[in-house]
Amino acid sequence: MKAIILITGYARAGKDSLAEGIELGAKRPSVRLNFADMLKHACDCYLQVLDLGGSGSSRTFRNESFKVKHREFLVAAGMFARSIDRDVFAHAFTRQCMRDAKRFPDEDVTVICSDWRYMNELTIVNYALGDEWKIYTVQVTTAGVEAANEEEGKSIGEIVRNVPVHVNYGFKPDSKPSILSEGKNLARQLGL
C-alpha cells in the first residue's frame, strides 16, 4: 500500500532530519514532498517572470539563505493564497502525491512530508487519498524549541490536541545523528 508520513512540530525541532532518516532507511521508493513546495515553486515563477531569478541563480526559494532573507514575501504569498482558498496547498499536495505515485506504477511509494502544520491538511489528505494510502502521523519535539510565532503555536497545538499521533519523538538539542537514526528505524518499523 502507498504511504504518507506527515511530520508535525515546531520549526527547528528536527522534522527535516527525521524525514531524511526515513528516506535513508526506506527500502521502497520514497519522495520528499511538503505542503509549502508548491508555494515555493509559485514564488520562484514570480521571480522568473520578472527576470529576477536567472538560470542557475541562488535567487530561489529552494535556497535556504534566500528563503530566510525573503521569508516575509513567502509568508505573505501563502496567506494571500489561503485567503482565497484555505485548502489550496493541501489540494496541490494531494495532486502531487498522485502524480508521484504514477512514476512508480508497479511499486508502493512513500511520500514523506516534514511540514504538516494545519488540521485541514490532514483532513484533505484523508479525504483525497485515505482509501488508497496508509497515512502515518508523527510529532517531533526538541527540548528548548518553542513555537516560532503565535500562529505556529496555535496550529501545531490544534494538531496535538485533536489528532492521535502514531509516533511521538522527543529529542535533545543538537542531536541530528540520533534523529537520523530514529528516522531509519521508523522506516524499518513501518516496512517502508
Segment 93-136, tens digit of pLDDT: 999 999 999 988 888 999 999 999 999 999 999 999 978 899 99
- Determine the distance from the C-alpha atom of residue 39 to the mean position of all C-alpha atoms in its chain, rounded to a whole number: 12
Residue 142: what pLDDT?
Answer: 93
pLDDT at 42 over 70: yes
**pLDDT tens per residue, range 78-101:** 989 999 999 999 999 999 999 999
Write down the domain spans for the chain: 2-189
Nearest C-alpha neighbor of 21 from the set 181, 192, 189, 145: 181
| CATH of span 2-189 | 3.40.50.300
**Owner of C-alpha cell 496567506:** 79
Record the pTM: 0.89
pLDDT at 51 over 90: no
